[in-house]
Amino acid sequence: MIDFSLVEIGKAIILGVVEGVTEFLPISSTGHLIVAGDLLRFNGPAAQTFEIFIQLGAILSVVWLYKKKIFPPRDKLPRSVPAGTSAEPDFSAGWVQFWMKVFVSFLPAAVVGLAAHTYIKAHLFTPSIVALSLIGGGIVILGVEAFLRRKATSTPAENAVQRVTYPQAMWIGVAQVLALIPGVSRSGSTIIGGMLTKLDRKTATEYSFFLAIPTMLAATGYDLLKSAGSISSSDVPVFAVGFIVAFFSALVAVKTFIRFIGTHSFRGFAWYRIAFGVLILFLV
């Protein structure tokens, strides 16, 4: 049980900020939470459940930001564009088809994650694995940025994410499987996976946000069901604070991230990952 005190509330605020800021950036929120939890001595079954629970706050921030695209008005629900025309559909025109593509991307990690969940939790959630994953992921990002510089396709920003194809969705889903390893980064693997299928940075990033909704809901829901017995009513204030802080910090992070990638590459995140990974190895 987590003691309800100012110290624990302070830890909840710090971890909420860490979750919100890192969840949708290509730097691994899980890795940062593991390291931050160890540094704060915020450990134990209840603390692990807390770290899972606050991810829901981050998910809700994306749902809120993209609510008009996720829940389009009734009069704009799926209508197809006549074949043979050059008409530009709005986002809601392909609403059903789009979420079918997201489901295709969701399946690989869902299947592998369900099968390997126990092993991953028991053997891979360690600072050393996180450090090596951060470094390896940073090197991959640098390589992809160098290889794909000026080669990504350019599509209209407003409708680009709707135009993701089923083959692209499948490969992004395969890339997301790598994120089951702590430190790899779910957003990093899906964004880079999208760029390798010739999506531009902004489209790959937005698609990663949408894919996060079913992926994180399934993962956090599964973990919460398994660990529900580790918390009590006295933990509610700490959980609530972490959830709220994660929600608002994620709102700021997502908005800032979208603006940032309009004029910048991911190389800065890659160098950060490498430096942070090396620091962890040094401390460990």
Dump pLDDT digits (tens) for 96-139.
889 999 999 999 999 999 999 889 888 888 889 999 999 999 99
Average pLDDT over residues 18-43: 90
Output the six-digit token pair for 223. Answer: 């973990």
The dihedrals phi and psi of 77, each to the nearest 5 degrees, come to: -70, 160
CA dist., res. 93 & res. 116, Å (int): 37
Residue 244's pLDDT is what? 96
Q: How many CA atoms lie within 13 A of 152 on its CB side?
A: 23
The dihedrals phi and psi of 220, each to the nearest 5 degrees, come to: -70, -40
- What are the residue ranges spanned by the domains of the chain? 6-73+93-283
Residue 211 has pLDDT above 50, yes or no: yes
The dihedrals phi and psi of 25, each to the nearest 5 degrees, come to: -95, 155
> How far, CA to CA in Å, does 219 sit from each of 31, 57, 106, 223, 269?
16, 14, 11, 6, 25
Percent pLDDT > 90 in the chain is 53
Question: Contact, 207 vs 161, CB < 8 A?
Answer: yes
The Cβ of residue 214 has, within 10 Å, a number of other Cβ atoms equal to 17
Cα angle 107, 62, 99 (rounded to 5 degrees) comes to 35
pLDDT digits (tens, 9 = 90+) for 56-106: 999 999 999 998 888 877 655 545 444 455 555 554 556 788 999 999 999
pLDDT digits (tens, 9 = 90+) for 215-271: 999 988 888 887 766 666 777 888 899 999 999 999 999 999 999 988 889 999 999
Average pLDDT over residues 201-210: 93
Output the six-digit token pair for 115. Answer: 């099968």
Start-end of H helices in the chain = 6-22, 29-39, 45-65, 67-70, 95-123, 127-148, 166-177, 186-196, 201-227, 236-261, 267-283
Average pLDDT over residues 143-166: 73
Helix (H), strand (E) at residue 8? helix 6-22
Q: Which residue, 164, 184, 180, is CA-closest to 172?
A: 164
**262 CB-near residues (< 8 Å, 6+ apart):** 202
Average pLDDT over residues 155-171: 80
Round the average pLDDT of the chain to a whole number and report it.
85
CA dist., res. 39 & res. 11, Å (int): 10
Q: Which residue, 54, 7, 18, 62, is CA-closest to 241?
A: 54
| Residue 260: DSSP 8-state | H
pTM summary value = 0.85
Q: How confident is the model at residue 35 (pLDDT cuts 50, 70, 90)?
A: confident
The dihedrals phi and psi of 84, each to the nearest 5 degrees, come to: 85, 0
